[in-house]
Structure 1
Amino acid sequence: MNYKHTALKLTVYFKSKFRFRIPKVYLVCFWLFLIVMGFSQYKPGTGLPPADPDNGGLFLPGGFRAVVVVDSLKGQARHIAVSDNGDIYVKARNHVRNDGYGNIALRDTNNDGKADIIQPFGKYEGRTYGTAMRIHNGYLYYSSELVVYRNKLTPGQLVPDSKMDTIVIDNPPYHEHQTKPVAFDDSGHIYVGWGAGSNASQVANRRPGSPGTGIPDSETEGSPFLVDHGGIWMFDENKLNQKQEEGVKFATGLRSIVALDWDPNSKSLYTINHGRDDLRMLWPAIYTPWESAILPAEEFFKVKQGLNGGWPYYYYDQLKKKKILNPEYGGNKIKEGNGAKLTQPLIGFPGHFAPNDLMFYKGNQFPARYKNGAFMAFHGATNRAPYPQAGYIIAFVPFKNGVPSGPWEVFADGFAKVDPIVNVSNAVYRPMGLAEGPDGSLYVSDTEKGKIWRIMFKGNKKTFGPLQLATMAKRKITKSNIKTPNEITDNLDRGKMLAAAKVYTTYCSPCHQRDGKGDGNRYPPVAGSEWVNGDKTKLISVILNGLQGPVQVKGLPYNEVMPAHGSFLKDDEIAQVVTYIKSNFGNTPGIVTPDEVSVVRKSTSKQ
């Protein structure tokens, strides 16, 4: 029901029927009543809405169409959930841009597929890693980096007015990979991911050559991260204010968990682990740029209680189909150690695809081959230079009896809108969250603009088959953001690297990107940065001695670890890279000499 349209018709009707003038106060009250009805008594329409002529810019298998639900949300978007009446709930990526609210509610009142009510709600502390947004047993669950919350939903009411419950509480301080995704089984448990803020539990985080902490495969002298990070914990879904120690460590050896879901068909928990970064930057004598671009795998696990994924000691090489010992623990890209004894992934996806959501499809709108299969949102990461960045797709894995029944497929592409993706900032959209609507539609959210698509099937389910999948199968092996790159021809720096640019590309661009704009979330820009265009002594000191947040750059907060490059770069290399940064990316040009670096090195002596 379109309440706005109905209100206008009724207003005209009353004015035409009655000769006396209706006081404005009554009309205002009447309008407010109808608006409240729109928020609280809404019932969804029937049938699928029209698709956009261009499917919202997406490439999809034959018979699938898409409509853009909302083109942009000022708070951007992380995970999403859809209620039984079609209302959409969004975890805002940026509370500050969302007027301080952490959540957003959307409603389509006329069944045209477009949200016409957009309402921010829920104020709580949070940064850009806050993730969860799920509906379970009548509650809306969502998370910041440190806390899992929930509100009781009232059927038909868009914005919950119930008390905000606190379910699980993490201990500060905030750090990278602190995302708190959630999943629920059918026995009253909530599962929460606990990411570890490290590449491989190094003594000095992100410092080339720094060894790892702990002894591989030791139960008593292992990495300190594994005590309370790097895994999945299980809690009582109805108990309030639970600390981590009140839960059960369900799985360990998982570096960063953002994608997490329970499959009701196999009654099992599944996740996709973010593999480590920086193999080339941290171990240039062992790994080539090509190996660092495609390794290690993003690991898709069926999570049984007690699973050990092997992090930080091992990574999965999807080409060799083996667990390999990390170089921080004596690995040389060949040694396997005791990796064969660890839980092996169901699938090893290409490195740096960045798996950020997982959803088992339960609906009947799509063709039968999608029933009980797994959809995955690959957000795209930052660590593929000098090769094109990869991911930025929705993938699908068919399932049977709780395990994949075929190879993974590209289900939706076209989010980035550029090919190749040289820098993360070049990607216009990056898929993040997945949700299934009550009619079986698939909803996809984007982090960069806060765009949301609704994907529907409008073809013939009986004839759906290889012909309809052929175009997407071709994209899998031809598009630069999906295919395995050719080591020679796909190298974007082939034949054009200068000494200073090589230092920047090797040690700086994995975080700050080749265009100097950062990734828009974790790593700050050097392009137009006050840290670059201010006192050059301060810039030299930061590169020499490193920096740990929180800091502000161009008005936005960041809280990642920058290693002390003075421990592995010489004065002339530091001078080259500072000069290169100041002379590029729209910055104020300036030359820095090795002597100037030497003076700062001696005066600070923190390397």
Structure 2
Amino acid sequence: MKNRAILFLTAIAAFFIISFTITGNKDTLPVADKNNGGLFLPGHFRAVVVVDSLAGRARHLAVNDNGDVYVKLRFPDSIGGNVALRDTNHDGKADIIQKFANYEDKGSYGTAMRIHKGYLYFSSEINVYRVKLNPNSLVPDGKLELIVHDSHGEHEHDAKPLAFDNKGHIYVAFGAPSNACQEQNRVPGSMGIEGCPLLKENGGIWRFDEDKPNQLQADGMRYATGLRSIVAMDWNTAENCLYVVAHGRDDLRLQFPKLFTPWESAVSPAEEFLKIKEGTDAGWPYYYYDPIKKKKLLNPEYGGDGKKVGDGAKYAQPIMAFPAHWAPNDLLFYTGNQFPARYKNGAFIAFHGSTNRSPYPQAGFFICFVPFKGGKPAGPWEIFADGFAGHTTIVSVSDAIYRPMGVSQGPDGSLYVSETEKGKVWRIFYQGDKTKFTTAQLAKMELRKKLPSFKTPDVMRNNLMSGMLTGGAKLYATYCTNCHQKNCKGDGNLFPPLAGSEWVTGGKYMEKETAIRVLLNGLEGPVKVKNVPYNSVMPKHNFLTDDQIAQVLTYIRNNFGNNSSLVTALEVKKVRASLKVK
């Protein structure tokens, strides 16, 4: 009997030793990096870099109960579309990095990574998968299950974020492949289709059975509508309700230059923080929220002019409106106890940063915090973590060193952050006396709101191109910079670079003809540029004259490191005639 007791106690001791080896001591914080990994944080918050860079970069992430980190890769390869990270010596830094999950439709825009009831759920652009986690293995070794399939194929705004209500349901967003349900997507002046047919299967959130495999969209229930593009979505357990931070529409100036100034297009429409209940209609494609006027206005595709209110008040209104084009790409309601009490049940939002505020500075690129009480914000939004971009003024989005993407809560209550440009991951934790935290610790972060990447730009003073451009350069700034950026390097995600692009360079007539055709006819992805996949829409620019197209192509082909022959108006005229384009 005595020997059995000894064996039993030995087994228990061994179990705890193994458990400690895998999980580490959750009450012991790592030593923070000297400069917090380049981040600006309030008060006694500190950070450590979990991994400096990942091959394939990163999108969203999830942290398991034992501290293992799972990251959705931005550019998957034949080895896998996800990566698993483990810290075995408890210094806060991953020392085991393993790729896994070699599914076929990996794509660069698939996004979600969530752990729910022992399963790792993640998505591509067209599929939602899950795999059972094994507590004895870093890399999941279970069968990969297809939970939801989108039969429409890849298209813009198709990120597939996920949320769970703890009643057996999974919520999946289906983005709309359009700016505002126009007759011709992104063609300047094209009007919106009445009774938008896209809303039947796009532009909303569908609810499915979280355990049922091989579901199609028809197997789910449309839970909410009028939401063009959602990447940030989470279930608030304190309120037992779904919340999203939705991307606003783009290109007010480019689509309707007679109605909107460059400044109006840069500061509107808002990114909307919305409480979503069954049946919610947020108003897309008919309405957008103006953060300056603080009301929903009629979209120009449906007769709006930047002033008409129409029936905007009938649609769901945001509980908070953020500045335009900041790109909210993840949402997390914090339930941990590692942070001071004021952060409990509040919302962390990862803003990926803008691409289309030109000719004004790009903005965002930070982790935001919104205090919550009673299901709604209890105060203004706060800068929680900043410094990702590496510069105070971002002219082109590719100037940003890092762009925040995902946020996840660790088992001890630490906050993990992923970014897309290098595949860097940070762990943020509080290292002071939580009972002595005061809002005075937020003062320095509040001052950062005066920086160009946060403040509302002045119409004249902050116009980066005022008085500088003529000819092809002016045309490029007017029609191209919002997508391809001022430095012609694209945004690294949806819009490809023109600098060094095989689509625009080359001296032979046939090579020039390719670029002319794209401008006249537009182009819809997926395509590859410099061997990198992109999937977006290049609108037709056939409204430009032959001379204007020649000027802008000549400018692009002889700047940004390009060195190619000029394009003539006669060459454009010849291609236009062959395409029968007016």
TM-score > 0.5 by shorter chain: yes
The corresponding residue for 2:58 is: 77
The residue number in structure 1 matching 2:270 is 297
1:156, CA displacement in angstroms? Answer: 4.0
Partner of 1:513: 485
Match among 29, 32, 46 for residue 65 of structure 1: 46
C-alpha distance in structure 2 between counterparts of 1:307 and 1:551, whole Å:
35
The aligned residue for residue 523 of structure 1 is: 495
1:548 aligns with 2:548: no
1:596 is displaced (CA, Å) by 1.9
> 1:110 corresponds to which letter in structure 2?
N
- Tell me, what secondary structure is at the counterpart of 1:532? coil
Whole-Å Cα distance in 1 between the matches of residues 375 and 132 of structure 2? Answer: 32
Give the equivalent residue in structure 2 for 1:586.
561
Q: Deviations over 1:239-286 (max 9, x none)?
A: 111111111100000010100100111111000110011111111111
- Find the counterpart in structure 1 of residue 133 from structure 2: 153
2:75 maps to 94
Gaps (5+ residues) in structure 2? 1-16
Deviations, residues 124-181 of structure 1 (Å, cap 9, x unaligned): 1211111010000111100111110001112242111011111111013210111111
What CA distance in whole angstroms lies between the structure 2 residues aligned with 1:425 and 1:109? 35
> Does the 8 Å contact 2:108/2:533 carry over to 1?
no
SS at match of 1:454: strand
State the shift of 1:190 in Å: 0.5
- Decide which of 428, 436, 449 is 1:455's aligned counterpart: 428
Q: Distance in 2 between matches of 1:502 and 1:224?
A: 37
Query: 1:127 corresponds to which letter in structure 2?
Result: G
Deviations 1:281-326 (A, max 9, x none): 1111111111100100000001011000100110001111110000
**1:271 aligned partner, one-letter code:** V
Residues 233-244 of structure 1: pairs in structure 2 closer than 5 A: 233-244=206-217
Q: What is the SS of the residue equivalent to 2:441?
A: helix
Could you say which residue in structure 2 is the equivalent of 1:598? 573
Asked whether the equivalents of residues 184 and 190 of structure 1 are also in contact (C-alpha less than 8 Å), the reply is: yes
Query: Alignment partner of 2:472: what SS?
Result: helix
Structure 1 CA distance, aligned partners of 2:40 and 2:50?
17
Per-residue CA deviations over 1:14-33 (Å, capped at 9, x if unaligned) read xxxxxxxxxxxxxxxxxxxx
SS of alignment partner, residue 435 of structure 2: helix
- Alignment partner, residue 90 of structure 2: 111
Q: Secondary structure at the match of 2:50?
A: strand
Offset at residue 518 of structure 1 (A): 0.7
Residues 209-260 of structure 1: per-residue CA shift (max 9 Å, x gap): 010112xxxxxxx101101000000011111111111111000000101001
Question: Whole-Å Cα distance in 2 between the matches of residues 318 and 569 of structure 1?
Answer: 32
**1:604–1:38 CA distance, 2 compared to 1 (3 A):** farther
Distance in 1, matches of 2:436 and 2:340, equals: 9
Instruction: Map 1:118-129 to 2 at 5 A.
Output: 118-124=97-103, 125-129=105-109
Secondary structure, counterpart of 2:504 in structure 1: helix
- Matched-pair contact (CA < 8 Å) for 1:39–1:159: no
SS of equivalent to 1:597: helix
Q: Deviation string for 1:337-369 (max 9, x for gaps)?
A: 110111101011000000000000000111111
Q: Which amino acid aligns with 1:503?
A: L
What fraction of aligned residue pairs are identical, expressed as a percent? Answer: 61
CA-CA distance at 1:38 after TM superposition: 9.0
For structure 1, the residue ranges without an aligned partner over 5 or more in a row are 1-36, 215-221
Mapping for residues 210-359 of structure 1, pairs under 5 Å: 210-214=190-194, 222-359=195-332
* Partner Cα separation in structure 1 for residue 124 and residue 538 of structure 2: 24
Conservation of the 8 A alpha-carbon contact between 2:21 and 2:88: no
Letter in 2 for 1:543: L
**Cα drift, residue 537 of structure 1:** 1.9
- Shift >3 Å, 4+ stretches: 37-41
Q: 1:362 aligns with which of 325, 335, 340?
A: 335
SS at match of 1:514: coil
AA partner of residue 529 (structure 1) = S
The answer as to whether partners of 2:54 and 2:424 remain within 8 angstroms in 1 is yes
TM-score (norm 2): 0.94
- The whole-number CA distance in structure 2 between the counterparts of 1:161 and 1:531 is 42
Deviation at 1:198, TM superposition (A): 1.1
1:492 pairs with 2:464: yes
TM-score by length of structure 1 reads 0.91
- Specify the SS of the correspondent of 2:443: helix
**Which digits, 9 at most, give the CA deviation of each residue in 1:192-214, with x for residues without a partner?**
01111111111111111010112
Q: Which residue of 2 aligns with 1:4?
A: none
Residue 201, structure 1, aligned to residue 181, structure 2: yes
> Is 2:172 the partner of 1:177?
no
| Aligned mates of 1:43, 1:314 — CA distance in 2 | 49
Deviation at 1:499, TM superposition (A): 2.6
CA-based RMSD: 1.4
- Is the partner of 1:68 in helix, strand or coil? strand
* Rounded Cα–Cα distance in structure 1 between residues aligned with 2:330 and 2:574: 48
Could you say which residue in structure 2 is the equivalent of 1:577?
552
Residues 156/472 of structure 1: CA separation in 2 closer, same or farther (3 Å cut): farther
Letter in 1 for 2:549: I
Distance in structure 2 (CA, Å) of the matches to 1:492 and 1:474: 23
The SS at the match of 1:531 is coil
For residues 439 and 191 of structure 1, the distance between their equivalents in structure 2, rounded to whole angstroms, comes to 27
Higher deviation after alignment, 516-525 or 151-160: 151-160
CA contact 1:45–1:110 (8 Å) conserved in 2? no
Partner of 1:19: none
Cα deviation, residue 39, structure 1: 12
Q: Cα–Cα, structure 1 residues 38 and 493, in superposed 2: closer, same or farther, change >3 Å?
A: farther
Q: When the two structures are aligned, how many residues end up with a matched partner?
A: 560
User: In structure 1, how many angstroms separate the alpha carbons of the residues matched to 2:46 and 2:214?
Assistant: 43
